[in-house]
Amino acid sequence: MEEYDVVRSLAALAHGLRLQVFRMLVVAGPGGMTPGAMAERLDVPAATLSFHLKELAHAGLVTQERDGRNLIYRAAFAHMSALLGYLTANCCEGVEDKAAVPCHC
């Protein structure tokens, strides 16, 4: 993963609503969620959610797929894994393993 992609991903997650949306999609798993279900659960207007989903998609953190008349959004697990790998490899250099906190994603 390139540094530019890391910065873009972290910037996208640095907004509270986008972080909530991303976490919701991670929990939803491979089945993903429709924007309507997310907007209802988060109690936000559809237009607001659409803007934030677009930002997450541009950062590579979510994918979008059309299923008939519905759009399904999913967390991009490969991208998330690459981001975590980059942070671990490049930001934790010199830190002993026993100081690291295990990730249970």
Q: How confident is the model at residue 99 (pLDDT cuts 50, 70, 90)?
A: low
Contact between 78 and 86 under an 8 Å Cβ cutoff? The reply is: no
Q: Give the model confidence (pLDDT) of 27-54 as tens digits.
A: 999 999 999 999 999 999 999 999 999 9
- 87: phi then psi, degrees, rounded to nearest 5: -65, -40
Q: Give the model confidence (pLDDT) of 2-11 as tens digits.
A: 889 999 999 9
User: What pLDDT, on a 0 to 100 scale, did the predictor assign at position 78?
Assistant: 94
User: What pLDDT, on a 0 to 100 scale, did the predictor assign at position 102?
Assistant: 60
Structural domains of the chain sorted by starting position, each given as residue range(s) with its CATH number in brackets = 3-92 (1.10.10.10)
User: What pLDDT, on a 0 to 100 scale, did the predictor assign at position 89?
Assistant: 85
Structure tokens that stand for 6 in this block: 């890391």
This model's pTM is above 0.85: no
